[in-house]
Amino acid sequence: MKFKKYLVVLPGIILAFVLYTLSQGFNSVLGIELLGYEKSPISTAMIAILLGMFFSNIFQIRESFLKGLDFTQKYILKLGIICLGIQLKPFEFLEFGAIAIPLIITCIISVLIVIKFLIKKLKIPTRMAYLISIGSTVCGTTAIMATAPVIGAKKNEVSYAIANITLFGILSMLIYPYFANFYFESEPLLIGLFLGTSIHETSQVAAAGLIYDQQFNSPETLNIATVTKLIRNTFLIIMIPLFAFLYNRGKTTEKKYSIINIFPYFVLGFVAMIIIRNFGDLMYSTNYNWLVTIEGIKLSSKIFLTMAMAAIGLSTNLKEIKNMGYKPFVVGFIGMATVGLVCITILELYLNFFN
């Protein structure tokens, strides 16, 4: 029975893999055959997302694929992020981790202040504003789903907030890699910090980092963006209790929450992979098999992440987003813009102070 239970996810996983393979084929034809480059300058991850969105909004995705697509977005994505840890060399992450934490805290505080102001001006429900703000500042849909029970959010408010985060997350995921490369003049540290702080979802940050890596040949940027986002994710532990306190303040009943349930455990897998790389380099730095293993895990991470991007594209319904009201989207846009502008300002100050 358990085996059959796991079999139901296979069609969706296979569909995501087929779309990954198609994206690779399109990438080779467009970038190498048509444009004449030795290595395609077009991102496979971006093609996978756009192909997924095209198919999902032109055709009806069968129900038999949905569980597997959901599994791919949730678990294969996390497996891809865990595998990314193999790319980080000894103590490399400490350099930008120390910069990332104050940057993230500043962005969170700024967005909370701005959205608190917008609640009064636009007169949108407080619960929805809380969901949009935590989705914008911490980790997108995961943060929204974790926060909803502790503030008693309604189902339509949760759906609205997720649609909001999805729309602006996809826009920033597709635009920011190119904007950041231009604005920060191809500096991997600043671009990675910007992508990891200003884009909503873990999957969207991974996609933006992968797009940047494939477009501008910078795995370092992908590493920095991923670590910055994972640090951001751990702020759920602080933000959920804070929102529970702020929303339920003065009320007779308080919603219960569990730190065990909200902790993003795949972060530990990512850290474990960094440790494995560190010890492996110390013991087997010139060993051929070890070097082949590293390259194999790196390739696996890109395959898993691109499959997850295809699944996200296949799960994005543009009609549903279009049919929703405009006010919460104004809040979402301002939240996205605030995070981006604050991030740029802090990074500029950092650049001027240390140069």
DSSP secondary structure, 113-180, as one string: HHHHHHHHHHT--HHHHHHHHHIIIIIHHHHHHHHHHHHT--HHHHHHHHHHHHHHHHHHHHHHHHHH
* Residue 178 confidence class, pLDDT cut points 50, 70, 90: very high
* Residue 325 confidence class, pLDDT cut points 50, 70, 90: low
Region 230-259 average pLDDT? 68
* Residue 181 confidence class, pLDDT cut points 50, 70, 90: very high
Residue 41 reports pLDDT greater than 80: no
Residue-level pLDDT at 180? 94
The string of pLDDT tens digits covering residues 4-29 is: 666 888 999 999 999 999 988 887 78
* Residue 155 confidence class, pLDDT cut points 50, 70, 90: low
Region 31-39 average pLDDT? 65
* Residue 30 confidence class, pLDDT cut points 50, 70, 90: confident
* Residue 156 confidence class, pLDDT cut points 50, 70, 90: low
Residue 311 reports pLDDT greater than 60: yes
Between 61 and 32, where is the model more confident?
61
The Cβ of residue 261 has, within 10 Å, a number of other Cβ atoms equal to 9
Between 168 and 324, where is the model more confident?
168
Q: Which of 36-45, 141-150, 155-164, 246-255 is predicted least confidently?
A: 246-255
Residue-level pLDDT at 323? 62
pTM of the predicted structure, to 2 decimals: 0.69
How far apart CA 79 and CA 49 sit, in angstroms, is 18
Residue-level pLDDT at 195? 94
Residue-level pLDDT at 215? 84
Residue-level pLDDT at 1? 47
Region 54-82 average pLDDT? 85
* Selection from 308, 338, 346 nearest residue 137 by Cα: 338
* Residue 232 confidence class, pLDDT cut points 50, 70, 90: confident
Residue found by looking up tokens 């977005």 in the block? 73
The string of pLDDT tens digits covering residues 212-228 is: 988 888 888 988 898 88
Assigned token pair, 256: 């219960």
Residue-level pLDDT at 18? 93
Residue 110 reports pLDDT greater than 50: yes
* Residue 324 confidence class, pLDDT cut points 50, 70, 90: low
What's the whole-number average pLDDT of the chain? 79
What one-letter code names the amino acid at 44?
Answer: T
* Residue 282 confidence class, pLDDT cut points 50, 70, 90: confident
Q: Which long-range contacts (CB under 8 A, 24 or more apart) does 318-327 make?
A: 318/53, 318/57, 319/57, 320/163, 321/163, 321/166, 321/167, 324/160, 324/163, 327/122, 327/123, 327/124
